[in-house]
Structure 1
Amino acid sequence: MSTVPDYKKIYWDILNEKYPEKKSRCIPILEKAKLAALDIIKLNEIIFDTDKQTEIFNQRHRMYDEYTISQILVYQEENKLNNSQLARHFKLSRNSITIWKKKYKK
């Protein structure tokens, strides 16, 4: 039995029951073979209206898996961003990016 929530099912249920008008914007994300943490964050942004304080609070409590970290670092390479630019884009700490690069890029 898997301990990871079935995010696709959860978001499909939310969209079908409460936000059918937002479904078309979410379909490209939900049709991916595997959802990364960035996909979950994007779905939340599309579906739920959050104020600035909630966004700041949620940012402080985010955790990224290795797959998502690798996607972020690939995004940096593809878009030729420095650590500061990448940090602003994903609302991350520059220190986190530096640590990830040391740990995952060999």
Structure 2
Amino acid sequence: MEKQEQIINTGPDYKRIYHDFIESKCPEKLKYVKRYLSKEIMSLSDILKVNNIIFYDRLSENQKFKSYNKQTIFEILDYQKRYKLSNSQLARHFKLSRNTIAKWKRIF
């Protein structure tokens, strides 16, 4: 029973994913993301900053594979409320589609 509880995960381990990716694909970028990866828990903004640092030169290619869980979607929509942004402004800030933002607002 204890092993089964240890296997349950609340989400992706971004620290491990990014660290492994950087070591294998672009070790020269490790110095830029080291402070984010050294944190105990990475916040949404940390994840987006690291993602931007790693994939800056391949940005259009990377956009196809983004996925968001409910917690992340709520954080993005809360960010919009906190800073009183329009859907267009929020979409530009997080590099999303305006239609995606509108769809999330309808659903949630």
TM-score tier by shorter-chain length is 0.5 to 0.7
- CA spacing shift, 1:75–1:5, aligned 2, 3 Å: closer
8 Å Cα contact 2:36-2:46 kept in structure 1: no
TM-score, length of structure 2 as denominator length: 0.66
| Structure 2 equivalent of residue 87 of structure 1 | 91
How far residue 2 of structure 1 moved from its aligned partner, in angstroms, is: 4.7
How far residue 8 of structure 1 moved from its aligned partner, in angstroms, is: 1.6
8 Å Cα contact 1:26-1:46 kept in structure 2: no
Larger RCO, structure (CA 8 Å, separation 6 or more): 1
Cα distance in 2 for partners of 1:93, 1:86 equals: 9
| Structure 2 equivalent of residue 101 of structure 1 | 105
**Residue ranges of structure 1 left out of the alignment (5+ in a row):** none
- CA spacing shift, 1:55–1:48, aligned 2, 3 Å: closer
Sequence identity (%): 42
The Cα RMSD (Å) is 2.9
| Structure 2 equivalent of residue 45 of structure 1 | 52
| Structure 2 equivalent of residue 8 of structure 1 | 15
1:27 partnered with 2:35: yes
Cα distance in 1 for partners of 2:82, 2:53 equals: 25
Cα distance in 2 for partners of 1:49, 1:84 equals: 21
Q: Which has the higher helix share?
A: 2
